[in-house]
Amino acid sequence: MKPMEPMKPMEPMKPMKGMEPFWPKDLGDPSTSGSQNGMKYAFFPDKHRLVIERDGQLSTYDSGDHRIGGVAQADGATKSLTFTSQNGDVDLGSLKKLD
């Protein structure tokens, strides 16, 4: 019987790759971003833009004077989104869709 070979050293772990941005690069870095129920969002206060990715489709909204702080509610069944702002909750349907 052949003797056991010594264990080979393990390769060091490679750092995990960060998530690639889903928003257009010309918007810069968002002040807040996240995902919930398969939808992603990113808010750009200097550009007054909220970008949503839903089912692989990207949509941009004019956030007006709202300063989005995060998702207040995402209903998985209807896929409706409500965001928090300094003015209270903001329904996505109340924002002007740009594309």
pLDDT at 4: 85
The parts of the chain modelled with pLDDT lower than 50 are none
Q: Residue 6: CA atoms inside 13 Å, Cβ hemisphere, count?
A: 2
pLDDT of res. 53: 92
Q: Of 9, 2, 6, 99, whose CA–CA distance to 57 is shortest? A: 99
Q: What is the pLDDT of residue 96?
A: 94
pLDDT of residue 76: 58
